[in-house]
Structure 1
Amino acid sequence: MREVRLSGNLSTVPAAAPVLTALRAQAPGLLHVVDPYKVPLAEAVEKARAMADLGHPALLVGSTDNPAFDQRVAPYVAELRERTDLPLILHFPSIPGRGAPLCPGADAVLVHAVLNSVRSFFVTGGLAATARTATALGQDGPELLRSASFAFGTDGKTHEAVGARPAAEDGVELPRLVAEVAAADFDLAYLLYRHGRVPDRVLRAYRRGLAPQQLLFVGGGVSSYRQVREYHDCGVDWVVVGNGLETADWRDTLHGMSGRPGGRPGSVGDPAVPPGIAAELQRGLRRPVRSDPAGRQVYATNVGRLHELLPAVVTPVTSAEEVAHVLRTTRAAGTPVAVRGSGHSFGRQGLSDGGVLIVGEPGDPAVRVLDDGTAEVSARAPWYAAELALNAQGRSIPVLTNHLTVSIGGTLSVGGYGEGTITHGGQVDLVRRFRLVLPDGQPRWCSPTESPELFRYGIGALGTLGVLDRVVLRTVEHQRLTTIATQRHPSLTALVDEVGWMAQEPCSPVDLFSAQHYEGGFIATYGMRGGPLPRRLEGRAETRVEADWPLRSMRESRRNPADPSVHFIWADYCLSLPAAAEFARFLEAGILATPGYREGGGRLLMLGVHRPEQRPGVPFTPAAGLRGLALGFGLYFSVPRGDRPAVDRVQAMHRRVLAECLSLGGRPYLAGWYDLDEADLQSMYGDDLTALRRLRRELDPQGLFNQGLLA
């Protein structure tokens, strides 16, 4: 294969790349391509609306053919643009001498470098020609999505169109191809198997080998949710479906392939839309308000899928001004309003039962690095986009969770913990200032010196006092290389006893720490960014050096979506040593050894925080009030959706674990599942709970805003 180098830097998403930002933030998922030579315009409009209703981020318009593009496709795209707000991505082969065909109305264009083509133009020439055309168009041009593209198997149509020969599926050629794609400046790799399925070994090779920010697309022959899920399980970010939805019953098929059975809209109950409020809300918003049953149904549950509550109106917001408009409008109408980020919740957070639901639309993180090394970012953006943008400026967020596609504001409403927590605490502990849109729509900057009481209670309290808009976070110098050490232990109690050495140190001896119960064993992982491991670990651990570890180690969340056919019942419990050691003995004997743990698909993950008492702390987070070395134990279960007895069994286990945690002086993490009564809340939070509720009454005297556990 020829070496391919393109202009640009993949270490960040440019400010003018909203489509790529959305694709990175919302992966994994499903994309549909409509063929303008076959699909009537009216059907394409209906498909765009259906895709938007189901939460898909874009619609592809494309074909293997492109005859009379300007006469047939350009008017089609222009009319489609007028009738949908869903981003449109062109998906056509390049035309010799012209590049990928462009037209007004397209938000982005997939520009294919067909690396297994026998014709040089389709390897690099199309990319170069398209770049020249887009540069000439300036701000009026579409966003370029640069794709390293391969066709697999016998594919006469693709060979005729772009000279593609069958791509390597094994042998020494495969890893070489993957390495060259990873080293080149591509935004994504696109694997097409028109008459078959891309083998799992190929998918996993690409997923392992691609750069962290490079997406993996797969297309060809997909017609069922099972196929979509199998591709996602192998690391695919976006599954592209074409012919599988060119049928008379495409609506039901699309629902099924999206993991949502047909006929569900309205099934939860159908609250009446307050008269006139939807139209009034729309006047201040760029994106369409959803008051139809299908549009509301998309937001009727969250990742845990334990509750289904149907909002009356869904309002997607893209700015603080839009948030303020919704809050003022709902207050004037006396209508309850709730707030949702990415929906990565397990209780009733982010849900609305018959009221208005504010949904933060992910977008450009709008990162601004300040002179003191802090960074101001949009709270609606996903962590992944913010970290990439910071890396390009030599900075990094020192604490990243396992789920980088969730919104910054949503995570900061509960805490945010990851491998870097051992040194830096939670993501809430990184916050230096934030701008909060209060329940009356007024924005206010909060810090230890500006509205200090709001600063204390405005984050980590389930969004009880307002909507986060902008956040100033402490960052650290970006270190590309991380030294990793892993230790294996025969039991959970042995692991906890061993990690206790860190409690003796005045400062955290490592930059990163996590542990897990994996394949019957217990593994502790330590990391140092840009420095040597502590002597304590020398000769006692398996070591290696990883590049881009914070992003690579979090890939699991990108490639394994929250399966809509499953109830996720996740909860985390935090305790200080030595209580954590007693808790570990309880878990090992009373939970991990039971049939219920295995039958519920149980997993155990652990994190640590060193000297939590040395941080100012946010009072409702799990490490607040703990001392020394605090350990967090995450118990994660998944059971088939609708299996009520299995849900009851898992919740009974969690209630036992919660009772043990509280009896030992620990705390649960409010991001997960919990069953807390008022006595539990008063015992844990005391005066802070009283102060929070007083503030809430002052700011929201009608009690309309974000009703929840702490309200």
Structure 2
Amino acid sequence: MSEWRNWSGSVVARPAEILRPTTEEELSRHVAQANKVRVVGAGHSFMPLCETDGLLLNLDALEGSIEIAPDGLSGWAPAGWSLARLTRALWDKGYSLPNQGDVNPQSLAGAISTGTHGTGAELGSLATFARAFRLVLADGSVVQCSRTERPELFEAQRLSLGLLGVVTRIEVDLVPAFHLQERLSVRPLAEIAAEWEELAVRHRHVEFWVFPYSDRAILKTLDICAPAPEPKTASDMSEGIFKFYCELAAAMPRLTPRLQHILMRLIGKSSRSGPAYSVFPSERSTRFEEMEYELPRAAGFAALNEVTEWIRRKRLPVSFPFEYRLVAADDIWLSPFNKGPGASVSMHQYAKMPWREIFAEAETIFRSHGGRPHWAKRHTLTAADVSALYPMADRFLTVRQQVDPAGKFANTHLTALFGIDPPAPQL
């Protein structure tokens, strides 16, 4: 039996077998023969989405290439490619994705299937970029779905958590390749909050990080700029200094507030420009656990302020800053942004420091403000919560039952999360 761990090291799976098929025919055969199947990308999910004691598939070696549509507005791409590989390959052909997050090791299918996103008031999650899917179903058959071809399957597949099948190719929205200028500055959080609506209109992308014991925040903006060479740095901030701070906080938790004030004094203005695919992501090598809640945009700052005040009141050793971003509304059945424009608040903790109890308590604050969690990041939702928070969940589960009645793609976590009934015994 093999062992697999996620990026942070907190999720451990012991699948019966780990395979990296190279052809769709080989993949279909393995899926048809297996009793249980999950697919893994870079392991950036903090929830046990990839955990299985059955077959664990990695699709990064699956044959395939990018095919650009004649109108240049979309293209078919291998689902198992990492965003790093995909966006570089698109750039070489003169195209970019409309948006990206701040890391890029994830697979395209993994990012879309969990609703991963970047920031931008008018930009949706990566799931909104998907136009069509090619996937292997539980019986090994290969189907394609879009708004006009098997539309119910397409709507469910747009954010599916891997419950419907194994995706091999995805048609995604594209835009002409563009360059970005990134600017970082440190400003009082109150000042950022007062100008937030204006900042969101003025910049294509805007976000900030704020440590729970600081009243100043790191503001980051990204805007389209004139062509520029590859940036000399691969990160928006120094990972070395930050990791040293995290080690100190882990060794001396009571010093966390003081260390955050010292760290903020070391951060100044910075700027870098270059191709979008190389400026969007930053190096993130310091291991952490993460919980992220997507809130109604009007409730974002209130939720952030309440959770920060709670941390200060209890003197909790939360070492990482909160990350605050904007995401546009969508109409995807299981998307946390399907009720309107969202404010995304990410809460992190250094992997060597306690996080479970802190996250669980903070989650009650985010839920009280109408928040719904990122599916791949730490949360404690139950099947009853999913039903209450997602009116279209029943429709999704109906499609799931149709294409995978035996629950081949449902692991222990997902079975409990969606209240999936085991198949009836064969008589």
* TM superposition score category, shorter chain reference: 0.7 to 0.9
Contact 1:316–1:358 (CA under 8 A) maintained in structure 2:
yes
Match of 2:164 among 465, 476, 483: 465
1:490 aligns to what?
188
2:368 aligns to what?
663
Match of 2:296 among 576, 599, 604: 576
> How many residues get paired?
371
Contact 2:117–2:126 (CA under 8 A) maintained in structure 1:
yes
Match of 2:29, as an amino acid? H
Equivalent positions of 1:307-346 (< 5 A) are 307-330=11-34, 335-346=35-46
CA displacement at 1:365 relative to structure 2 = 6.3
Q: Distance in 1 between matches of 2:174 and 2:313?
A: 41
Q: Distance in 2 between matches of 1:305 and 1:603?
A: 20
CA displacement at 1:542 relative to structure 2 = 6.9
Contact 1:399–1:418 (CA under 8 A) maintained in structure 2:
yes
CA deviation profile, 1:626-682 (whole Å, cap 9, x unmatched): 24xx21111111232xxxxx54xx222212222222222121111111111122111
2:217 aligns to what?
522
Match of 2:192, as an amino acid? L
Q: Normalization by structure 1: what TM-score?
A: 0.49
Q: Distance in 1 between matches of 2:210 and 2:325?
A: 12
Q: Normalization by structure 2: what TM-score?
A: 0.80
Equivalent positions of 1:86-105 (< 5 A) are none
* SS of 2:160 mapped into structure 1: coil
Q: Distance in 1 between matches of 2:184 and 2:275?
A: 18
Q: CA, structure 1 residues 577+679, in 2 after alignment: closer, same or farther (shift >3 Å)? A: same
CA displacement at 1:408 relative to structure 2 = 0.8
CA displacement at 1:498 relative to structure 2 = 2.5
CA displacement at 1:553 relative to structure 2 = 4.7
2:333 aligns to what?
619
Q: CA, structure 1 residues 679+497, in 2 after alignment: closer, same or farther (shift >3 Å)? A: farther
2:273 aligns to what?
546
Q: Is 2:84 the counterpart of 1:366?
A: no
CA deviation profile, 1:607-630 (whole Å, cap 9, x unmatched): 1124x1xx4x32222222124xx2
Match of 1:680 among 376, 379, 385: 385
CA deviation profile, 1:180-224 (whole Å, cap 9, x unmatched): xxxxxxxxxxxxxxxxxxxxxxxxxxxxxxxxxxxxxxxxxxxxx
CA deviation profile, 1:244-294 (whole Å, cap 9, x unmatched): xxxxxxxxxxxxxxxxxxxxxxxxxxxxxxxxxxxxxxxxxxxxxxxxx4x
Q: Distance in 2 between matches of 1:604 and 1:592?
A: 14
1:271 aligns to what?
none
CA displacement at 1:476 relative to structure 2 = 1.1
* SS of 2:295 mapped into structure 1: strand
CA deviation profile, 1:426-454 (whole Å, cap 9, x unmatched): 11111111112212212221111111111
Match of 1:433 among 132, 147, 151: 132
Match of 1:653, as an amino acid? I
Q: Which runs of 5+ in 1 are unaligned?
A: 1-292, 532-540, 563-567, 641-645
Match of 1:703, as an amino acid? G
2:321 aligns to what?
603
Q: Which runs of 5+ in 2 are unaligned?
A: 227-267, 421-427
Q: Distance in 2 between matches of 1:304 and 1:626?
A: 31
Q: CA, structure 1 residues 361+400, in 2 after alignment: closer, same or farther (shift >3 Å)? A: same
Q: Is 2:113 the counterpart of 1:413?
A: yes
Q: CA, structure 1 residues 445+456, in 2 after alignment: closer, same or farther (shift >3 Å)? A: same
Q: Distance in 2 between matches of 1:369 and 1:413?
A: 22
Equivalent positions of 1:258-277 (< 5 A) are none
* SS of 1:572 mapped into structure 2: strand
Q: Distance in 1 between matches of 2:143 and 2:63?
A: 22
1:68 aligns to what?
none
CA displacement at 1:545 relative to structure 2 = 6.0
1:351 aligns to what?
51
Q: Is 2:359 the counterpart of 1:654?
A: yes
Match of 2:195, as an amino acid? E
Contact 1:328–1:440 (CA under 8 A) maintained in structure 2:
yes
Match of 1:386 among 77, 81, 86: 86
Match of 2:345 among 616, 622, 633: 633
Displacement over 6 Å in runs of 4+: none
Q: CA, structure 1 residues 303+622, in 2 after alignment: closer, same or farther (shift >3 Å)? A: same
Q: Distance in 2 between matches of 1:367 and 1:593?
A: 52
Match of 1:380, as an amino acid? G
Aligned-pair RMSD on alpha carbons? 2.5
Q: Distance in 2 between matches of 1:682 and 1:410?
A: 23
Q: Is 2:215 the counterpart of 1:501?
A: no
* SS of 2:20 mapped into structure 1: strand
* SS of 1:461 mapped into structure 2: coil
Contact 2:159–2:332 (CA under 8 A) maintained in structure 1:
yes
CA displacement at 1:522 relative to structure 2 = 0.5
Match of 1:697, as an amino acid? Q
CA displacement at 1:312 relative to structure 2 = 1.4
CA deviation profile, 1:284-342 (whole Å, cap 9, x unmatched): xxxxxxxxx4xx12x2x212333333111222223322221111112xxxx22222222
Match of 1:306 among 1, 7, 10: 10
CA displacement at 1:691 relative to structure 2 = 1.4
Q: Distance in 2 between matches of 1:454 and 1:667?
A: 24
Contact 2:114–2:376 (CA under 8 A) maintained in structure 1:
yes
Contact 2:38–2:162 (CA under 8 A) maintained in structure 1:
no
Q: Which has the larger radius of gyration?
A: 1
Q: Is 2:306 the counterpart of 1:586?
A: yes
Contact 2:20–2:62 (CA under 8 A) maintained in structure 1:
no
CA deviation profile, 1:217-246 (whole Å, cap 9, x unmatched): xxxxxxxxxxxxxxxxxxxxxxxxxxxxxx
CA displacement at 1:461 relative to structure 2 = 2.4
CA deviation profile, 1:590-618 (whole Å, cap 9, x unmatched): 136654343xx3231121124x1xx4x32
Contact 1:486–1:525 (CA under 8 A) maintained in structure 2:
yes
Q: CA, structure 1 residues 543+302, in 2 after alignment: closer, same or farther (shift >3 Å)? A: closer
CA deviation profile, 1:70-92 (whole Å, cap 9, x unmatched): xxxxxxxxxxxxxxxxxxxxxxx
CA displacement at 1:550 relative to structure 2 = 4.0
Q: Distance in 1 between matches of 2:301 and 2:324?
A: 13
CA deviation profile, 1:151-181 (whole Å, cap 9, x unmatched): xxxxxxxxxxxxxxxxxxxxxxxxxxxxxxx
